[in-house]
Structure 1
């Protein structure tokens, strides 16, 4: 069991929708937190929350970074080294972002980061991945299922997972999240009022932000490293049933599904999280 004394400082690369509330949860547990953001406006927000802020933008051309206060004058390698300084654990939560004119190789970004991790005191890495690495086969999916991504982001996530987990200088636990929802984020808002939607009988695979954070805290608490976990709430009604009810609950226009074609979609098992981590979901019915 890991104690706060042993791992008093944690670095979070990517304090966005998930990373920022995660940082605040870690602070409440007694950890000190270094957190990165790609926008200068977020620096004061992080600092006011008690997070030591770093402005870091990982690009293939360079690792563009600046830090708090006097760190601005330091070189890029110095900033990254300071960001990782005295941290035993690094949480990588940056999205692939493979669309648009400025798209870059996500695997390349991870490869740029690895030498910095190797030179640091980081012993453990949590890599936030996605269940998109499995593709859309019609079956129950576990962590032992073959990887068959059908999107470019899924393919690059697989490669990034492999780069990190094959490195023997640190231990990497991969956390494959299903669709992310929260108080301010829900796919029904995008689906409301739409018509002729596919796969009405396919199972939903979602997870609430609170459980995302709870699972990460549990991994750290249990010292559960060199593992791979599917992070999805064990609640799998059909898309048509779930989104129809959720739209009604939120007074949104109901989405309409096409029931003529055969539905396609996987059901992701979270049994390993419940058994190995002994984790109980706080939002079981979403």
Structure 2
């Protein structure tokens, strides 16, 4: 019997921004056939330069030929900031009539309300557009969706100390920080692909949760900024994102921590 070597699937990445472009670059390096989208024609050459096939896709203005060609793929990674429920419903209608079998939907831990406690993937969600959009993907019977709820993204270029602009008043100083490094976001997506872990929901957040006050004083000091101003006048509201399911199911070890 001849053993056929398993080939990498074709993948389309909807949204080649700060996270998406780095993801596309990494997947091309690993031998995937990748299509990458942008809403700006000026970025087409940038996507093409790293070895992916570029497309202009705007979910609020889907051009039939463009989106159908973009969705000629096995796996779709949705990584855009739009909260247009109508736009996503329109997109899903096209996905339902495409060869796409699996979807990774990059969501956010902002779907969880403040609970002053830990939150897991089983915790209740806020009534918000993003939670509705998650549900639209999960309820389709035409493809399987894994939802990745990432916390606030950072890396060395997007330093947390720069989040605190001069004069900005920081709420909930006694609350806790929920962040994740861009490199870990890419690592988690690659593990979902590698392990073919579909139909799941995972919280993506660093292991450590320092207090907001302590963390942002330290981070602004590291880059030579003045310490931010904190508002102690309101009751503290916070949530601590539990990442234990992701580490258990994917056997993922975070490469970066706070």
Whether contact under 8 Å (2:160, 2:219) holds in the other structure is no
Question: Residue 132 of structure 1 corresponds to which residue in structure 2?
Answer: 110
Question: Residue 246 of structure 2 corresponds to which residue in structure 1?
Answer: 273
Displacement of 1:240 in angstroms is 0.6
Question: Residue 77 of structure 2 corresponds to which residue in structure 1?
Answer: 91
Counterpart Cα distance in 2 of 1:257 and 1:27: 44
Counterpart Cα distance in 2 of 1:9 and 1:195: 44
**Cα deviations by residue, 1:82-115 (Å, 9 ceiling, x for unpaired):** 1121x21100111126xxxxxxxx1111111112
Question: Residue 102 of structure 1 corresponds to which residue in structure 2?
Answer: none
Counterpart Cα distance in 1 of 2:131 and 2:232: 33
Displacement of 1:197 in angstroms is 2.6
CA change 1:4–1:200 in 2 (3 A) is farther
**SS of residue in 1 equivalent to 2:230:** coil
Question: Residue 146 of structure 1 corresponds to which residue in structure 2?
Answer: 124
Question: How many residues end up aligned between the 2 structures?
Answer: 255
Counterpart Cα distance in 2 of 1:185 and 1:126: 24
The 5 A counterparts of 1:29-40 are 29-40=30-41
Counterpart Cα distance in 1 of 2:45 and 2:138: 34
What residue ranges of structure 2 are gaps of 5+ in the alignment? Answer: none
Displacement of 1:278 in angstroms is 0.6
Displacement of 1:6 in angstroms is 4.7
Displacement of 1:190 in angstroms is 3.4
What residue ranges of structure 1 are gaps of 5+ in the alignment? Answer: 64-75, 98-105, 150-154
Whether contact under 8 Å (1:8, 1:30) holds in the other structure is no
Displacement of 1:201 in angstroms is 1.1
Counterpart Cα distance in 1 of 2:5 and 2:217: 44
Q: Taking structure 2 as the reference length, what is the TM-score of the superposition?
A: 0.93
Q: Taking structure 1 as the reference length, what is the TM-score of the superposition?
A: 0.85
Question: Residue 183 of structure 1 corresponds to which residue in structure 2?
Answer: 156
Question: Residue 193 of structure 2 corresponds to which residue in structure 1?
Answer: 220
Q: Does 1:78 align with 2:79?
A: no
**Which of structure 1's runs of 4+ aligned residues deviate more than 6 A?**
none
Structure 2 counterpart of 1:257, from 224, 227, 230? 230
Whether contact under 8 Å (2:8, 2:33) holds in the other structure is no
Question: Residue 56 of structure 1 corresponds to which residue in structure 2?
Answer: 57
Question: Residue 122 of structure 1 corresponds to which residue in structure 2?
Answer: 100
Question: Residue 157 of structure 1 corresponds to which residue in structure 2?
Answer: 130
Counterpart Cα distance in 2 of 1:246 and 1:55: 37
Q: Does 1:20 align with 2:6?
A: no
Question: Residue 207 of structure 2 corresponds to which residue in structure 1?
Answer: 234
Counterpart Cα distance in 2 of 1:245 and 1:193: 15
**Cα deviations by residue, 1:245-268 (Å, 9 ceiling, x for unpaired):** 111111111113234543211001
Counterpart Cα distance in 2 of 1:125 and 1:212: 16
**SS of residue in 2 equivalent to 1:45:** helix
